[in-house]
Structure formats: structure tokens, C-alpha cells
Amino acid sequence: MKNSGGMFRLTVPLLVAAALIVAAALTDRATGRYLMPDRADLVFPAYSRAHHQSNEFDLTVRINNLGFRGPDVSIAKKRKRILLLGDSFTFGWGVEEHETWAQLLQMEFPDWEILNLGRGGTHPGDHVQLARKAIPLLRPDLVIVGVLQANDLHQLMRIIAYERGQRQPMFPEAGGDAEGPTALHRFTTRLFPNLMHFRGARVEIRDRWLREAELLLTTFSAEDSARYVGLEQQNRDAFEKGLLNPSLVFEAVYFPDAHRAAADTARPLLRDAMVRLHDYLVEMRQLCAAHGTALLAVGLPNRPYGCPDCVPDLVGLGYAAQGCDTLNADLPFISAAQRAGVNYFTVPAQQIPGRADYYPMDGHWNPSGHRKFARSLASHLSTVLL
């Protein structure tokens, strides 16, 4: 009898615990069906987070329920909607969410819903692929596609050269960004698949940069290493500590004249890249037209064009940027947009960001740069939206 009572005292709590777990699991299913917000992984995994750290900024980026940066949002439209496509300058690399030009535009146009689908490292071809998914799903009234001066065209130049069989250095990307799921996490996710959606993967950008820096250093030839040693010491130190984007060093070593090459329309490869950009803009225009959506292509100012004070920072990073401030880096973009029949906007000369609007090492706009660009674009949009 004594042993039976002990068994009873052990069994009851277990049964109660099991009943609570089952009830919680049923509640999770009901919550997922009736109360959970829409969920999609349009750009990044929904509810994921990324810690961005460099010598110039330190912040954690939160991804929303549909897989892009910004507040949670429903798939169904509740007001007119603007969709932003672009690279890291659109995403808002290095600034808090409320400091991005996307959120600054949202404050200027509260009657509109502005969705930021920017992602670092992308080019116009990537924007078209994303638009194929996002436009039918989100039904925007206006799509704004950002084209970063020179950078986007230089990416297209390298892609075309690779397609033609010309040897192109490959960036040694390191995998394993996100924390791997533990056994407990996998078990809990099976029990509570809906509520566990709120615990998305977390990425430490510095860890990835450090691995990529180590890999990149192993690929350098003696000539490459000599160019690398020519970088300013502070930049090499930051790079080797995982505090400087390795893609900057990669470009400086292998494509030091990238800024000049992507703004010099006398170069046949750039003209071919302009044709490729034209084709992407035409496809974007046709996709928007098929869904009753307006399209605006926007030129995003980049160093060192129109910013002589920015040239020394780029030279310190190893780029041959001297004289680039006199080049018209908008010309290839404008030519492609005009031929594609796409409305476009470029920042007036007097409103172009200066050195104080960029992170000197990282090269992206700082909060001041986002404010300056947002003001310029908002002034243009006020004549289009109102």
C-alpha cells in the first residue's frame, strides 16, 4: 500500500503536466489559426534577427512577420501601399529602423503604407526576382526600385564578364550564419509551431565577417597581398577583427577602379551592363503594369560622385577613386531608364549627400545621409502621390 501511494503521488503530477502540455499545444494551434499574423519569408526568415557591429555602428535588426525589415504588416492592404526594392542602402545598413529612409518616408506620408524589401548585396536582377513574388502577394500601388550609383552596374559588368568565360575572382562567402537549433528548440517547435515562429534565427554579422576575412586572406596571391598591405592600417585592423565588411576589401584588391569603370560609358562592358539594366527595368515595368502598379526607378547617391571629400576615405580603403567626383554616375542609370520607358528620379546636385552623411569606413549612409535622401525623394513624391 505504501508503494502504491508513492506511485499515485508520482503519476498525478505527470498526468497534470501532460494535460497542461496538450492544452497548451491545442491553444497554440487555435492561436495559429485565428490570431497569428500573416507569415512569409519574402526576403529573410520571418522574425529573424541580426546583430550588426562594426567600428562605426552597433545595432540589432529585427525582421517582421513577412520576412523584411519594418513593423509587422498584413498581406491584405488596408491603405495604399508603396513597395521598396533595393540593396543595403534601401535596407538601411548601419542605422536603426526608424532612421532608414523608408521609415522617414513613412512619417512624411502617413496615409500610405511603405514596405522596405531592401537586402544587402543585391542588384537589379535580384530585385526583379523578388518583385515576381512580392508584387502579386502584396499588391502595391507604387513600386520604387533603388539603383545604387556605379555599384549595381559594376555587379552587372562582373556577371556579364563571367558569363562570357572571363575569369572573375569569387568572393569566399562563409556559411553558418544563424544559430543552429538545439534538440530542445526542435522539440518545442514541434509542440508549439505557431508561437515558436516568434523566436526566429539570430545572426551575428561580425562572426560571419570574421570567417569571410580569414577565407579571403587565404586566397590572396603575392600581388593581391601587396595591394592589401597598401590599405590604411586602421582598415586592415578592422577587417581582420571582423569589424569591416570583407566585400569592401575584396573589391579594393580585385577591382580597385570599380567606381571609375562603372561611370565611364566609353567602356564596352559598361554599355553592355546598361543594356542588362534596361532589360531588367523593362521586365519590372511589364510586371508592374500587369498588376496595375506604378513604377519609379530611383538613383541612390554613392561615394565618391559629387563628393570630393569622400575620395580620401576610398583611397584609404585601396580604391583608385581619384577624379571620380567629377564623373556623372547617374548617366548610365538615366539612359537605361529612359530607354526602358520607366519614370526615374535622381537627387538634385545641391542635395547630394556629403562626407558627413556617410560612414567613412563602411561607406553606407549614416542617419544624416538617410535624412538627406528621404527629404529629397519626399519632395519629388509629394508631386506624384498627392
Give burial (CB, 10 Å; 0-12/13-18/19+) of 381. buried
All structural domains of the chain with their residue ranges: 1-35, 49-385
Domain 49-385 in CATH 3.90.1300.10: no
CA–CA distance, 34 with 269 (Å, rounded to integer)? 54
Mean pLDDT of 202-209: 92
**Contact yes or no for 112/81 (Cβ under 8 A):** yes
The string of pLDDT tens digits covering residues 259-299 is 999 999 999 999 999 999 999 999 999 999 999 999 999 99
pLDDT higher than 70, residue 233: yes
148: number of Cβ within 10 Å: 25
pLDDT higher than 50, residue 135: yes
CA–CA distance, 377 with 371 (Å, rounded to integer)? 10
pLDDT score of 383: 87
Predicted confidence band at 7 (pLDDT cuts at 50, 70, 90)?
Answer: low
CA–CA distance, 239 with 216 (Å, rounded to integer)? 10
pLDDT higher than 70, residue 154: yes
The string of pLDDT tens digits covering residues 157-187 is 999 999 999 988 988 876 654 444 445 545 5
Give the rounded percent of residues in the chain with a pLDDT score beyond 70. 83
Q: Which residues of 70-84 are buried (b: 16+ CB within 10 A; e: fewer)?
A: beebeeeeeeebbbb
pLDDT score of 385: 72
**Contact yes or no for 103/82 (Cβ under 8 A):** no
pLDDT higher than 80, residue 28: no
Cell of 259: 567606381
Tell me what the pLDDT averaged over the chain comes to. Answer: 89
Cell of 296: 519609379
pLDDT score of 36: 54
Mean pLDDT of 118-128: 97
The string of pLDDT tens digits covering residues 243-257 is 999 999 999 999 999
